[in-house]
């Protein structure tokens, strides 16, 4: 949530207050390197009313991946940890899970084996643990978890594992009349309960993967019930489809961190006029993690090659950010 007060910007996120003058520095957690300069130059051009690259306010759409782009994703996607916790909580009602994979591996604490089946295994676990309840019930469970669960390495709440530079970028774009959206492979209903208070992005501006739902009357009350069938995967080729279905406008700015975001960038760049595609490259093993081409999470291979070939902006986290997480001094 941003407010303009005497030419200053105040961003409030989980009690963390960052104050800076946009006239002096709109992105204080960014080093004065090429990516920061490119972002500011782009915003200046598309918002200059009489300039050749001016973009009308309704068309200033910016889309952001979530995992590895707005918050961390190591050692495993945070929603996967949520799913594992749900399996453990529901295990007494499902004695068959002790012998059935991938549930058995989760209950044994063998995360690597549980994820051996890849996306299919994760989706199977998600549908088994997320289905049958109403949308309100799931919303409460997800919200309760995100406010209490802690990251296994840092001990911080997951909602503090967000990137301070990206919070500043989101706020900077909104101050310049951009509409910011999350376009993530993560579950849409998992993200919606908390994205507004963490990122300032309301639930209607969240695009994600989903399972099918149906309308029911329960005790005379209308509810939306989640059923164990896959509806949509918002990853890779699915991202442009999700953008078109949910937003209806092609973004002029897109940000991601992995090969799963490549098609979103291609869709952004395919439009007319000035466009901006940004990749977060995880290069800081000390403050965060260092990984790219061979990573089991957030693989950045084809996207890295295409970004370099086409001149898209690639953030070197180690050198381009002077601060990574919100909890850093």
pLDDT in tens, 293-307: 999 899 999 999 999
Q: Are 241 and 233 in contact (CB under 8 A)?
A: no
Torsion over CA: 169, 172, 176, 181 (sign): positive
Note whether residue 21 is domain-resident.
no
187: pLDDT strictly greater than 90 = yes
Structure tokens at 221: 């009350």
20: pLDDT strictly greater than 70 = no
250 and 214 share one domain: yes
Distances in Å between the Cα of 328 and the Cα atoms of 15, 52, 149, 157, 169 are 14, 40, 19, 14, 17
242 and 190 share one domain: yes
| Four-point Cα dihedral 268, 270, 276, 280, nearest 10 | 60
56 and 141 share one domain: no
Note whether residue 7 is domain-resident.
no
Beta 2-5 vs 313-316: how paired, if at all? Answer: unpaired
Please give the pLDDT value at position 275: 98
Convert the pLDDT of each residue in 243-291 to its tens digit: 999 999 999 999 999 999 999 999 999 999 999 999 999 999 999 999 9
85 and 143 share one domain: yes
Convert the pLDDT of each residue in 44-94 to its tens digit: 999 999 999 999 999 999 999 999 999 999 999 999 999 999 999 999 999
Q: Among 113, 148, 183, which residue terminates a domain?
A: 148
Note whether residue 153 is domain-resident.
no
Convert the pLDDT of each residue in 191-247 to its tens digit: 999 999 999 999 999 999 999 999 999 999 999 999 999 999 999 999 999 999 999
Closest CA to 296 of 31, 88, 118, 114: 118
- CATH number assigned to the domain comprising residue 272: 3.40.50.1000
pLDDT band at 118 (very low <50, low <70, confident <90, very high): confident
pLDDT band at 119 (very low <50, low <70, confident <90, very high): confident
Note whether residue 8 is domain-resident.
no
Please give the pLDDT value at position 2: 39
Q: Are 180 and 62 in contact (CB under 8 A)?
A: yes
11: pLDDT strictly greater than 60 = no
Please give the pLDDT value at position 23: 54
185 and 307 share one domain: yes
Q: Are 84 and 107 in contact (CB under 8 A)?
A: no
294 and 174 share one domain: yes
18: pLDDT strictly greater than 70 = no
pLDDT band at 16 (very low <50, low <70, confident <90, very high): very low
19: pLDDT strictly greater than 70 = no
Compute the mean pLDDT over every residue in the chain, rounded to the nearest whole number: 92
Note whether residue 91 is domain-resident.
yes
Residue 180, number of CB atoms within 10 A of its CB: 22
pLDDT band at 121 (very low <50, low <70, confident <90, very high): confident
Residues 315, 81: Cα–Cα separation, whole Å: 27
140 and 169 share one domain: no
Mean per-residue pLDDT for 130-139?
Answer: 94
Model confidence, pTM: 0.91
Domain range spanning residue 122? 78-148
């Amino acid at each position: 949530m941003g407010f303009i007060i005497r030419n200053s910007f105040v961003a409030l996120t989980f009690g963390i207050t960052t104050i800076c003058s946009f006239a002096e520095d709109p992105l204080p957690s960014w080093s004065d390197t090429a990516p920061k300069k490119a972002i500011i130059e782009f915003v200046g051009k598309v918002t200059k009313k009489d300039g050749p690259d001016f973009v009308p306010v309704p068309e200033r759409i910016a889309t952001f991946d979530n995992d590895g782009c707005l918050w961390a994703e190591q050692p495993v996607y945070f929603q996967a940890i949520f799913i594992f916790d749900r399996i453990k909580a529901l295990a007494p009602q499902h004695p068959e899970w002790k012998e059935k994979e991938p549930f058995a591996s989760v209950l044994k604490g063998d995360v690597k084996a549980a994820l051996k089946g890849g996306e299919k295994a994760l989706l199977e676990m998600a549908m088994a643990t997320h289905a049958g309840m109403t949308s309100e019930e799931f919303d409460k469970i997800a919200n309760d978890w995100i406010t209490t669960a802690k990251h296994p390495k840092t001990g911080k709440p997951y909602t503090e594992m967000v990137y301070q530079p990206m919070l500043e970028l989101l706020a900077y774009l909104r101050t310049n009349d951009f509409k910011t959206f999350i376009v993530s492979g993560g579950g849409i209903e998992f993200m919606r309960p908390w994205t507004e208070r963490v990122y300032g992005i309301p639930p209607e501006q969240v695009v994600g993967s989903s399972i099918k739902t149906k309308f029911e009357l329960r005790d005379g009350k209308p509810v939306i019930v989640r059923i164990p069938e896959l509806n949509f995967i918002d990853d890779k080729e699915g991202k442009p489809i999700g953008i078109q279905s949910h937003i209806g406008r092609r973004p002029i700015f897109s940000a991601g961190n992995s090969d799963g975001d490549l098609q979103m960038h291609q869709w952004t760049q395919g439009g007319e006029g000035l466009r901006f595609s940004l990749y977060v490259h995880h290069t800081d093993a000390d403050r965060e993690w260092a990984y790219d081409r061979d990573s089991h999470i957030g693989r950045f291979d084809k996207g890295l090659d295409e970004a370099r070939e086409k001149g898209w902006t690639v953030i070197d986290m180690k050198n381009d950010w002077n601060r990574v997480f919100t909890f850093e001094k």
